[in-house]
């Protein structure tokens, strides 16, 4: 009974604080609401008007593209609410938690008959509700408008809900903790922003160093990994690693409540109430600036040796950065020397670790297993393989270690691996240059390059060794020597790593049958053609599986078209006559295109994915494979005739809307 | 009852309140006086639970005060610069206080809004300093606190409102047995209002006394001699706090009553002698002088 009364009383107090904050934030909420309402209206108007203009321009009815227009409205308006909410969340949060940073506010709130923890939690709840409630209201309006136009909610727009929920919770919790530790609002904001910027950049440098110095190491394991943004609550707005961000938020809230109970309120308007976060931030800033200058000097070969340049640059960057951060946080030089011990530790640790990896003390870079120690091995052409179920490359490569067990093929793999190492530059300066390459290529929102060569070995002791080399790691663009492509044209390899055999049949967007590059017959895997498309693929797969002969002639085009991302083809490779020279049995070519969503597990991670899948980029983003259909694949040819791709003369059926002449 | 048990508050190396023990009975009005930086405001913030003591404890009616909403619900603190949000009015702030303070009285609120000459719907932030204090007082008194802590409350109030405030406080104390602790440099106002005075200096409680006792404990005596006695220490044996000589005329501050020192003074054969009580300000100056804080030690 007492605890119920106490809980009721606490709720009453919390609601009072909430009402108070609502009063204080009314102006900000009004500004948000006006902006959101105006932008939503503008976006809706523009989407409908531009959609109808486009339709008229295409000679269609002006409402022909209304569905697409409303889809665009949903996405763009949701994204607008998303960004607006992020900005205003920061404003509300700063405003609400400032009660700890002004002596006058401290007098007011400190003397109120409410416990510190309940006050803090009430404030946090206020910040959370003020940030989310208006956002959810406007997202609801967007969805109602969409439904009124007969359009269902898109996944992208729906995901904004989750992203906002997660991001707001994480950011408010993290800022709350920063505000408890800091004495001023300015320091809280600086600390919050510093963490959000400095931590991910520092993590990028660490990842870059790992990737740059350990050639063949698959740094893709860090992609979308929570560790890359572990202290950057703004990353929670990406809507990934939800479990981590929940734990992060809960830890921040508990830590804040614990600290706020014992917080010395007289610290208001002083630099800090608790100094530990300040030390962490200063060290992080020193690390980041030190790494930037160190890696820059290392890659510029300062003092004629990369590592020496790094040491010079690291010290030159980290010490002034540490001092400046101290001046900003402490508003002066007080306690500078007492608090410099972590900086000294940082410099010693970083320089020592960099020495260890620079000199490759453990021999990672030049390791190639001895033939006698290898049980099985695998090799994947990173440019041109199909990932099933969107598995990570690291897992695919690990699994590939059991692909080939015969000695000859293992020997081929080892010799190609050795060849790559022979062509690689292991100099200190090159390693530092690689750090930049790693950082740039891995942190763009779209993919710039592919992994070219992946090797994996299962050793006799059961250990799996894997190496993934980029084309940038190797001086020569092509592998010479052993004919590794013989491995790629094996049935085992095709069954595991091509869209033709490994892709889910629903992930295949269409097939095109052609004799040359001037004309083709396309059957889409949707609407009325879907059954025909599936039938062709299934029959072709069966014929391929049943083929007991050397299948390399079927796979011959793979040797030429080892990339399709840029949509560029050599005309000659789309001419069946070329393949008849190798195998007179060759009849025609079949091109298989996978859908974009199939490449990404069906989800859009960001606006680039969405645009890629819905706009002009979709053609370029899908994966294309081309094969030869031999005359001996009679079932496949029979199906092609049956569904009307080939006429009675075994030529492309020209009087079909699926036939295209592009010559 | 308020009890301070070896209360200490340190700000880094500075000890603002040093090992202070004190009891304040219910229904009393206590004046906190002391030099600048003596720890008066800090003590009030400790009493109202704003600050956490470095050591020791504050008890209100036997309950620990710090972070105790029940105990704090009986207290109200008006600091020297009360905070109000930009859009705060007396009415909308009252709306929020209703749920927070258990003794909130709507009748008292209406009554005080009528008594104090300010608009309860006007934005407090736009009011003058004195009017802001009146607003704070209306809100404070409407919570019907059993313990009211006021820091420099008379600053900015006009004489009429000062008088009104003193009257209201005295009535409230009499009717509701409210306890008031006022920190102020305006000793004249405290003299009218307080029944006890605590004198603080450098975080220490120098003196704590009933104001009536204090008044009778000191005398300002003017002694004139036709010829000053030729003695190095004329007033030897008398508890003299302060002496100021102008020719044969001596102005002496003496601790004690006429019965204590008159026989000794008369024995000096003065030509003229008169004794009168000290004002609180004079007592403050003389006691602070005794504690090493006088105009000479500052300059």
**Per-residue model confidence (pLDDT) at position A598:** 36
Show which of residues 8-47 on chain B sit within 8 Å of chain A, judged by CB atoms: 11, 45
Per-residue pLDDT tens over the stretch A644-661: 889 888 888 888 888 888
Same domain, residue pair B97 and B165: yes
Q: Identify which of A640, A655, A386, A643 has the alpha carbon closest to the alpha carbon of residue A514.
A: A640
- The residue that leads in pLDDT, B107 or A598, is B107
Check whether residue B220 and residue B197 sit in a common domain: no
Same domain, residue pair B34 and B134: yes
User: Above pLDDT 90, what percent of chain A?
Assistant: 35
The three-state secondary structure class of B29 is strand
**Looking at residue B45, what is its pLDDT?**
94
Q: How far is CA A619 from the centre of its chain?
A: 21
Q: What would the mean pLDDT of A409-435 be, rounded to a whole number?
A: 86
Name the domain boundary from B202, B229, B249: B202
In a domain, B10, yes or no: yes
In 3D space, the residue among A590, A594, A642, A584 whose CA is nearest the CA of residue A618 turns out to be A594
Chain B CB contacts of A102 under 8 Å are 83
Strands B29-34 and B196-201: parallel
Give the containing element (helix H, strand E) for B34.
Answer: strand B29-34
The helix, strand and coil proportions of chain A, stated in percent and rounded to the nearest 5, come to: 65, 10, 25
Average pLDDT over residues B81-95: 88
From A20, A115, A266, residue closest to B11, measured CB to CB: A266
B72 and B219 both lie in a single domain: no
Q: Is B83 in contact with A110 (Cβ distance < 8 A)? A: no
**In the sheet that A659-661 helps form, which strands lie side by side, from edge to edge?**
A624-630, A586-594, A508-516, A519-524, A659-661
Number of domains observed in the structure of chain B? 2
Q: Are residues B230 and B195 in the same domain?
A: no
Report the C-alpha gap between B172 and A591 in whole angstroms: 94
CA distance B125 to A629: 85
Q: Is A159 exposed, middle or buried (0-12, 13-18, 19+ CB in 10 A)?
A: middle
* CB nearest to A265's CB, from B50, B81, B82: B50
Q: Residue A107 and residue B73: Cβ atoms within 8 Å?
A: no
What sign has the CA pseudo-torsion B255, B260, B266, B272?
Answer: positive
- Is B259 within the bounds of a domain? yes
**CATH code, domain carrying B271:** 3.30.70
Query: Is 60 exceeded by the pLDDT of residue A618?
Result: no
Residue B240 lies in a domain: yes
Please name the residues in contact with A362: beta carbons below 8 A apart, sequence gap of 6 or more.
none
* Among the listed residues A151, A140, A234, A242, the one whose alpha carbon sits nearest the alpha carbon of residue A195: A234
In this complex, the residue of A9, A24, A264 whose CB is nearest that of residue B52 is A264
First-to-last C-alpha distance (Å) of chain A: 86
Q: In terms of Cα–Cα distance, which of B156, B202, B176 is closest to B14?
A: B202
Residues of B in contact with A7 (CB under 8 A): none
Per residue, what are the HEC states of A592-660?
A: EEECHHHHCCCCCCCHHHHHHHHCCHHHHHCCEEEEEEECCCHHHHHHHHHCCCECCCCCECCCCCCEE
Q: pLDDT category, A319, cuts 50, 70, 90?
A: very high
Write down which residue in B180, B202, B224 finishes a domain: B202
Residue A89 DSSP SS3? helix
Q: Which of A644, A327, A627, A394 is nearest to A500 (CA)?
A: A627
A561 CB neighbour count, 10 Å cutoff? 17
Instruction: Give the torsion sign (CA, B247, B252, B258, B264).
Output: negative
DSSP class of residue B127? S
Question: In the predicted model, what is the mean pLDDT of residues B197-220?
Answer: 85
DSSP state of A279: H
Q: Point out the least confidently predicted range of A67-76, B263-272, B276-285.
A: B276-285
Pairwise CA distance, residues A123 & A110, whole Å: 14
Assigned domain for B208 exists:
no
In terms of DSSP H, where are the helices of A331-452? 341-358, 393-399, 407-423, 428-442
pLDDT at A502: 84
Residue A605 has pLDDT above 60, yes or no: no
**Average pLDDT, stretch B75-83?**
92
In 3D space, the residue among A123, A100, A21, A98 whose CA is nearest the CA of residue B87 turns out to be: A21
Q: Lowest mean pLDDT: which of A119-133, A177-191, A396-410?
A: A396-410
Higher pLDDT, B101 or A395: B101
Cβ–Cβ of A110/B92 closer than 8 Å? no
* Per-residue pLDDT at A554 exceeds 90: no
Report the pLDDT value the prediction gives residue A337, as an integer from 0 to 100. Answer: 87
Average confidence (pLDDT) over A14-30: 87
Most confident by average pLDDT, A26-30, A239-243, A318-322, B160-164: A318-322
Instruction: Return the axis-axis angle of helices A116-148 and A66-97, rounded to nearest 10°.
Output: 170
Cβ A521 vs Cβ A653: under 8 Å: yes
Where does a domain end: B168, B202, B236?
A: B202
In angstroms, what separates the C-alpha of A123 from chain B's closest C-alpha?
15
pLDDT tens readout for residues A576-597: 888 887 788 889 999 888 865 4
Residues of B in contact with A24 (CB under 8 A): 85-87
pTM of the entire predicted model: 0.79
Given a cut of 80, whether residue A338 has pLDDT beyond it is yes
- The verdict on B284 and B194 lying in the same domain is no
| Structure-token pair, residue A541 | 């797969």
Q: How many CB pairs under 8 A join A and B?
A: 81
pLDDT at B226: 87
pLDDT > 70 fraction of chain B, expressed in percent and rounded:
97
| Residue B82 sits in the same domain as residue B20 | yes
Average pLDDT of chain A, as a whole number: 83
* Residue A3 Cα, gap to closest chain B Cα (Å): 14
Name every chain A residue with its beta carbon within 8 A of the beta carbon of B11: 266
CA A144/CA A150 separation, integer angstroms: 10
Question: Where in the sequence is the domain holding B270, given as residue range(s)?
Answer: 214-298
Tell me, yes or no, whether B196 and B258 share the same domain: no
Residue B269 lies in a domain: yes
Q: Which residues are CB-contacts of B175 (< 8 A; sequence separation ≥ 6)?
A: none
Do the domain assignments include residue B105?
yes
Whole-number Cα distances in Å, A416 to A422, A469, A485, A563? 10, 12, 11, 20
Distance CA A559, CA B156 (A): 91
Is residue B150 scored above 70 in pLDDT? yes
Closest CA to A117 of A270, A277, A263, A275: A263
Which distant-in-sequence residues (6+ apart) come within 8 Å of A432 by Cβ? A212, A295, A298, A299, A306, A309, A310
| Residue B82 near residue B152 (C-beta atoms within 8 A) | no
Q: Is B44 within the bounds of a domain?
A: yes
Which of A171, A208, A167, A25 lies closest to A82 in space, CA to CA?
Answer: A167
- Contact: B102, A113; criterion CB under 8 Å: yes
Domain of B155: which CATH number? 3.40.50.300
Eight-state DSSP code of residue B205? E
- Among A13, A106, A264, beta carbon nearest to B99: A13
Chain B closest-CA separation from residue A118 CA (Å):
10
Name the nearest CA neighbour of A391 among A518, A223, A526, A548.
Answer: A223
The pLDDT value recorded for residue A599 is 38
pLDDT, tens digit (0-9, with 9 covering 90-100), for A343-363: 999 999 999 999 999 999 988
Q: What is the pLDDT of residues A428-481, one digit of tens each?
A: 998 999 899 888 876 665 555 555 678 899 999 989 998 888 765 555 555 544
What is the pLDDT, as a whole number, of residue A483? 57
Sort out which chain A residues have CB atoms less than 8 A from B51's CB and list them. Answer: 110, 264-266
Do B36 and B79 belong to one domain?
yes
In angstroms, the CA A221 to CA A223 distance is 6
pLDDT of residue A601: 35
For A469, the 3-state DSSP assignment is: strand
Q: Do B50 and A111 touch (CB under 8 A)?
A: yes
Question: If you search the block for the tokens 């408010």, which residue do you land on?
Answer: A172
Distance from CA of A261 to the nearest CA of B (A): 8
What confidence score (pLDDT) does residue A32 get?
94
When scoring A16, A100, A107, A265 by the number of chain B Cβ atoms within 10 A, the one with the most, hence best to mutate, is A107
**Lookup: tokens for A88:** 């205003």
Q: What are phi and psi of B123, to 5 degrees?
A: -70, 125
Model ipTM? 0.86
Q: Assess contact for A81 and A162: CB atoms under 8 A.
A: no
- What percent of chain A lies above the pLDDT cut of 70? 88
Q: Is residue B182 very low, low, confident or very high in pLDDT (cuts 50, 70, 90)?
A: very high
Pairing status of strand B179-183 against strand B147-151: parallel
Residue B209 forms part of a structural domain:
no
Q: Same domain for B49 and B166?
A: yes
Same domain, B198 and B218: no
Binary contact (A104, B79; C-beta < 8 A): yes
Q: What is the side-by-side strand order in the sheet with B2-11?
A: B14-24, B2-11, B55-60, B63-64
Q: How far apart are CA A51 and CA A490, in angstroms?
A: 49
Residues A106-117: what's their mean pLDDT? 91
**Chain mean pLDDT for chain B:** 87
Please indicate whether, in this complex, the C-beta atoms of A16 and B88 are within 8 angstroms of each other: no
**B174 and B219 assigned to the same domain:** no
Q: How far is B47 from chain A (nearest CA, A)?
A: 9
């Amino acid at each position: 009974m007492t605890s119920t009364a106490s809980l009721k009383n606490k709720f009453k107090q919390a609601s009072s604080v909430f009402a108070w904050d609502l009063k204080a934030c009314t102006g900000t909420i009004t500004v948000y609401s006006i902006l959101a309402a105006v932008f939503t209206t503008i976006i809706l108007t523009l989407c409908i008007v531009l959609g109808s203009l486009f339709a008229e321009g295409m000679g269609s009815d002006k409402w022909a593209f209304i569905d697409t227009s409303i889809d665009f409205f949903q996405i763009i308006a949701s994204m607008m609410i998303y960004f607006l909410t992020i900005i205003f969340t920061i404003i509300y949060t700063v405003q609400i938690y400032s009660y700890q940073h002004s002596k006058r506010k401290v007098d007011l709130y400190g003397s109120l008959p409410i416990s510190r923890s309940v006050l803090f939690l009430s404030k946090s709840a206020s910040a959370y509700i003020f940030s989310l409630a208006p956002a959810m209201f406007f997202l609801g309006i967007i969805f109602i408008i969409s439904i009124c136009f007969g359009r269902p909610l898109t996944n992208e727009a729906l995901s904004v809900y989750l992203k906002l929920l997660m991001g707001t919770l994480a950011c408010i919790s993290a800022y709350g903790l920063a505000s408890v530790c800091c004495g001023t609002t300015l320091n809280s904001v600086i600390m919050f922003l510093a963490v959000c910027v400095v931590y991910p950049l520092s993590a990028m440098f660490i990842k870059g160093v790992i990737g740059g110095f350990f050639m063949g190491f698959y740094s893709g394991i860090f992609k979308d990994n929570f560790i890359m943004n572990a202290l950057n609550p703004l990353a929670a707005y990406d809507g990934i690693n939800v479990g981590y961000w929940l734990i992060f938020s809960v830890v921040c809230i508990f830590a804040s409540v614990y600290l706020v109970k014992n917080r010395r309120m007289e610290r208001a308007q002083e630099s800090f109430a608790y100094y530990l976060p300040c030390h962490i931030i200063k060290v992080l800033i020193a690390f980041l600036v030190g790494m930037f200058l160190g890696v820059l000097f290392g890659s510029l070969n300062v003092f004629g040796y990369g590592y020496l340049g790094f040491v010079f640059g690291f010290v030159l960057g980290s010490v002034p950065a540490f001092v400046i951060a101290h001046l900003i946080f402490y508003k002066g030089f007080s306690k500078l020397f007492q608090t410099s011990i972590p900086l000294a530790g940082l410099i010693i640790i970083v320089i020592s670790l960099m020495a260890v990896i620079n000199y490759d003390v453990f021999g990672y870079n030049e390791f190639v297993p001895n033939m006698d120690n290898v049980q099985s091995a695998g090799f994947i052409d990173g440019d041109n393989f199909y990932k099933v179920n969107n598995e990570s490359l690291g897992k695919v490569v690990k699994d590939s270690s059991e692909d080939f067990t015969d000695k000859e093929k293992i020997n081929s793999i080892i010799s190609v691996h050795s060849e790559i190492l022979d062509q690689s530059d292991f100099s200190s300066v090159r390693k530092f240059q690689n750090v930049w390459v790693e950082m740039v290529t891995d942190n763009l929102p779209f993919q710039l390059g592919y992994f070219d060569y992946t090797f994996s070995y299962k050793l006799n002791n059961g250990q799996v060794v894997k190496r993934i080399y980029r084309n940038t790691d190797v001086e020569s663009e092509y592998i010479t020597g052993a004919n590794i492509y013989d491995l790629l044209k094996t049935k085992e390899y095709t069954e595991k790593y091509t869209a033709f055999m490994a892709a889910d049949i629903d992930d295949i967007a269409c097939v095109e049958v052609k004799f040359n590059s001037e004309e083709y017959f396309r059957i889409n895997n949707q609407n009325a053609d879907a059954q025909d498309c599936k039938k062709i693929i299934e029959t072709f797969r069966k014929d391929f599986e049943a083929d007991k002969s050397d299948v390399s002639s079927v796979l011959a085009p793979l040797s030429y078209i080892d990339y399709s991302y840029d949509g560029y083809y050599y005309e000659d490779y789309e001419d069946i006559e070329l393949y008849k020279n190798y195998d007179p049995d060759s009849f025609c070519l079949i091109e298989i295109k996978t859908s974009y969503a199939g490449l990404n597990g069906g989800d859009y991670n960001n606006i680039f994915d969405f645009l890629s899948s819905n706009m002009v980029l979709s053609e370029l983003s899908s994966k294309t494979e081309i094969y030869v259909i031999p005359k001996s694949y009679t079932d496949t040819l029979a199906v092609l005739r049956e569904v009307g791709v080939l006429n009675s003369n075994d030529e492309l059926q020209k009087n079909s809307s699926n036939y295209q002449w592009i010559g | 009852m308020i009890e301070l048990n070896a209360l200490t508050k340190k700000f880094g190396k500075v000890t603002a309140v040093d090992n202070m023990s004190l009891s304040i009975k219910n229904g009393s009005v206590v004046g906190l006086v002391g030099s600048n930086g003596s720890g008066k405001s800090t003590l009030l913030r400790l009493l109202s639970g704003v600050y956490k003591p470095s050591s020791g404890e504050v008890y209100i009616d036997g309950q620990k005060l710090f972070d105790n909403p029940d105990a704090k619900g009986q207290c109200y603190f008006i600091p020297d610069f009360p905070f109000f949000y930009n859009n705060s009015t007396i009415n909308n702030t009252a709306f929020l206080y209703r749920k927070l303070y258990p003794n909130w009285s709507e009748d008292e609120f209406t009554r005080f809004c009528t008594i104090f000459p300010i608009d309860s719907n006007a934005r407090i932030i736009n009011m003058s300093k004195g009017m802001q204090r009146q607003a704070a007082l209306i809100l404070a008194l409407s919570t019907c606190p059993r313990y009211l802590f006021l820091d420099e409350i008379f600053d900015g109030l006009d004489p009429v409102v000062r008088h009104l405030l003193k009257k209201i406080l005295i009535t409230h104390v009499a009717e509701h047995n409210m306890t008031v602790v006022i920190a102020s440099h305006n000793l004249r106002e405290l003299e009218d209002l307080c029944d006890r005075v605590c004198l603080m200096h450098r975080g220490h409680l120098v003196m704590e006394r009933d104001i009536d006792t204090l008044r009778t404990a000191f005398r300002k005596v003017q002694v004139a001699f036709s010829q000053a006695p030729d003695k190095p220490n004329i007033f030897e044996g008398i508890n003299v706090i302060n002496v100021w000589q102008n020719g044969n005329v001596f102005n002496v501050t003496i601790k004690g009553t006429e019965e204590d020192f008159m026989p000794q003074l008369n024995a000096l054969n003065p030509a003229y002698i008169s004794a009168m009580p000290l004002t609180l300000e004079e007592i403050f100056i003389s006691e602070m002088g005794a504690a090493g804080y006088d105009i000479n030690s500052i300059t």
